[in-house]
Amino acid sequence: MAQKPDSPGGDAFAFQRGPGGETHQQVAAKGDHASETSHLTTNQGLRIADNQNSLKAGARGPTLLEDFVLREKIFHFDHERIPERIVHARGSAAHGVFECTDPIPELSKASLFATKGKQTPLFTRFSTVAGGAGSVDTPRDVRGFAVKFYTDEGNWDLVGNNIPVFFIQDAIKFPDLIHSVKMEADRGYPQAASAHDTFWDFIGLMPEAMHMVMWAMSDRAIPRSLRMMEGFGIHTFRLVDAKGNGTFCKFIWKPHLGVQSTVWDEAVKIAGADPDYHRRDLYEAIEAGGFPAWDLYVQVFDEAFAASLPYDVLDPTKLIPEEVLAPRKVGTMTLNRNPDNFFAETEQVAFCPTNIVPGIDFSNDPLLQGRLFSYLDTQLKRLGSTNFHQLPINAPKCPMHNFQRDGHMQTAVPKGRANYEPNSLADAGEDGGPRECPATGFASFRANDERNDGGMKVRERGELFADHYSQARLFYRSQTENEQAHIASALTFELSKVVIEAIRTRVLSRLRNIDEDLATRVAAGLAMPLPAKAPAAREPLDMDESPALSIQKNHAPDMNGRKIAILFDEGSDKAAIDAIKAGVEKAGGTAFLVAPKVGELKLKGGALKADGQLAGSPSVLFDAVAAILMPDAAAKLAMDGAALGWFMDAFGHCKTIGYCPATKAKILDKLGIEPDAGVVPNGEFLAIAPARHWDREPNVRMLA
């Protein structure tokens, strides 16, 4: 016989109690005195008396179909997921503000660039490209860098990547590119990886991709943090002034923390240690008040300058080196607030390159032209309605009025009869609705004198689009020696995963057009003969090197935004720990205390609790490490595989290591780690960390 809920031992809700230890029934009895938001309701606002049990025909009888509370709850749960993005599925985002620091009204009539100090709210989403929503943060991949500006003239979406060029020149090849890099169609793997046959088969048949391949195989594709990436609009756009005069423009984001990457082995290990490494890093930085910031730059030029270049500015596989055309700063973006709800904001945000404002327009870039169609089209599939723009994260923050009506999930409630234009209802005293604004409304740039203005529409590309190798050569030769080694090693690794030998041969033949030494190194790494050079539609040029393309040539490491680990154990010197921690924090970094146990440990001079346990806080999660240990503790850790791996990984990833005498004698000497410019006593640690010591790399790993 079933017990009544209020009988001894029969409280059906006793396993879940309220804050004061009350049962659900007792809490419910107080309901009339609680705030309105404390009442659990159905989607129709009906208060729910029991959220623990479905309605049955007797305590042990069948569940009744009339239980609308159960049906609504399960119905909604069954439909919680929406289709993920075809590309850029895994993303992380934040709210922020753009402040105009250097107005450019002489170039663009866009209001966000009109006045110094003008602030525009925005939402920025970073993403990987190839993997699904459940993949990891640190694969070798392009990173999306999309910004939605909520301007007072409407939304402007600057939808780009952390690399300034792209694999293909024409949007008609985009489905082929993505199909090739995604999981192979018959076997469903690899996930979030380009190291497989179909990708390299496609790349080997598309010489225009070779410039982008250099970037994708460089350290740019394995960033240290989303906060430490550049962003690029990729395409050539137009800026239009108040008189209707237009100039070409490229958009560039430069991070205040500088550009920083990981090394490949580190990225792989981070994926295992913390699959959410970048997402967590961005969230925690904002939560702690370390707001990431980027300056927005523009490269502005006219048709005459464009015509003088040895490449076509409408070709998205090309960039204009900063040494050829210096970027001009226009403002600063600061991300200062994490999303309140991941699904409602990060997942449902919809970026469309067609979202522009007066003063910004398009060029004839054929990849951009295809994107203008594709992005809008995909929102209907993902969000289920042409009214996706009414979702709060997508809605403009300026007035919005038009005659678009109805459709799935229409939330607006237009009044009156006017749902067409022109109409004369206003003459009859009714609301006739909005009208077009010739004086202030958006008008496309009146001409596109881009070497083909007024010509016939054709399915072909400009003559200079055929130069596929000059800028790939420029990029490679602008890197430091070990950055070049990283590129060669990345190519060797990825091509080693390609089973079909003809594909590897084809890619090697393309590499010879970029750099003979690069091709030779990759061929040697694959134990393959160097094939004949692939014919080039246009012979590549030897362009002046661009130091701006190198991460390491521009990297001035400081502690700002970095995360430093301090390893300690029972008996460690608390004063020494406090000194390094204070130095790190004073310099703008974050100190993270690591110990074999996370509970409070007794130290010389006090006690401390660790922020993380050693086995769960591998050194790949930090920018530099220091150890403060007593001899007996160091000897104990010298027998711990996790501890040995902690130091070996830091050394192998060329990080700065600070040591105390016991750490050196018991652990570093055992591992064969000799002091160098980056393995130093703790007294020298703060003066060097978090620099990477690339001269160590040839001694710790095989590079192509």
pLDDT in tens, 56-86: 999 988 988 899 989 888 888 888 888 999 9
DSSP state of 98: E
Residue 17 in this model has a pLDDT that exceeds 80: no
Q: Max alpha carbon distance in the chain (Å)?
A: 94
Name all domains of the chain by residue range, CATH numbers in brackets: 91-171+210-390 (2.40.180.10), 479-553 (1.20.1370.20), 557-699 (3.40.50.880)
Strand order across the 612-613 sheet:
612-613, 590-595, 563-568, 624-628, 656-659, 679-681
**Average pLDDT in the 420-425 region?**
80
Residue 143 in this model has a pLDDT that exceeds 60: yes
**% the chain with pLDDT above 90:** 75
Residue 4 in this model has a pLDDT that exceeds 60: no
| Reported confidence tier of residue 33, pLDDT bands at 50, 70, 90 | very low
Can you give the pLDDT at residue 94?
98
Span 328-386, pLDDT tens digits: 999 999 999 999 999 999 999 999 999 999 999 999 999 999 998 888 888 888 888 88
**Average pLDDT in the 272-288 region?**
97
Q: 218-221 contacts: CB < 8 A, separation 24 or more? A: 218/475, 218/479, 218/483, 218/486, 218/487, 218/490, 219/261, 219/262, 219/263, 219/483, 219/486, 219/551, 220/162, 220/163, 220/259, 220/261, 220/551, 221/140, 221/141, 221/142, 221/143, 221/163, 221/490
Catalytic residue ranges: 88, 161
Can you give the pLDDT at residue 433?
87
Residue 499 in this model has a pLDDT that exceeds 70: yes
Residue 119 in this model has a pLDDT that exceeds 70: yes
Count the helix, strand and coil residues of the chain and give each as a percent rounded to the nearest 5.
35, 15, 50
When mean pLDDT is compared across 69-73, 93-97, 592-596, the lowest value belongs to 69-73
Please give the structure tokens belonging to residue 655: 């990080």
When mean pLDDT is compared across 63-72, 536-545, 598-607, the lowest value belongs to 63-72
Q: Tell me how far CA of residue 564 lies from CA of 34, 226, 581, 589, in angstroms.
A: 46, 18, 9, 7
The 10 Å Cβ neighbour count of residue 642 is 14
Q: What is the mean pLDDT of the chain?
A: 91
Q: Residues 396, 388: contact at Cβ < 8 Å?
A: no
Residue 406 in this model has a pLDDT that exceeds 90: no
Can you give the pLDDT at residue 444?
77
When mean pLDDT is compared across 123-127, 397-401, 602-606, 635-639, the lowest value belongs to 397-401
> Residue 615 class from Cβ within 10 Å (0-12 exposed, 13-18 middle, 19+ buried)?
middle
**Average pLDDT in the 662-677 region?**
96
Span 211-222, pLDDT tens digits: 999 999 999 999
Give this prediction's pTM.
0.87
Span 437-461, pLDDT tens digits: 888 887 778 765 555 545 566 778 8
- Alpha-carbon span 647 to 625, nearest angstrom: 8
Residues 6+ apart with CB under 8 A from 331: 98, 99, 100, 101, 102, 112, 113, 295, 296
**Average pLDDT in the 654-661 region?**
97
Can you give the pLDDT at residue 457?
60
